[in-house]
Amino acid sequence: MASKGLQDLKQQVEGTAQEAVSAAGAAAQQVVDQATEAGQKAMDQLAKTTQETIDKTANQASETFSGIGKK
């Protein structure tokens, strides 16, 4: 009977350990997902800012060149 109790305890410990591993894996995946999302948002903002700067510079250059021809 003692071995049955030990077997049950072993199974319970293994089940608890597996649940802990699964929970840790899920938490790690959530961290990775959040970091990926934050990185994507940063890249999107960088692309937007870069495009705005390019557009502004192009407009200024266009205005400058059109002003040269008028003088």
pLDDT digits (tens, 9 = 90+) for 21-42: 999 999 999 999 999 999 999 9
User: Which residues of the chain form beta strands (DSSP E)?
Assistant: none
Q: Domain spans of the chain?
A: 31-70
Q: Is 28 exposed, middle or buried (0-12, 13-18, 19+ CB in 10 A)?
A: exposed
Whether pTM > 0.85 for this model: the answer is no
Q: Within a 10 A sphere around the Cβ of 41, how many other Cβ atoms?
A: 10
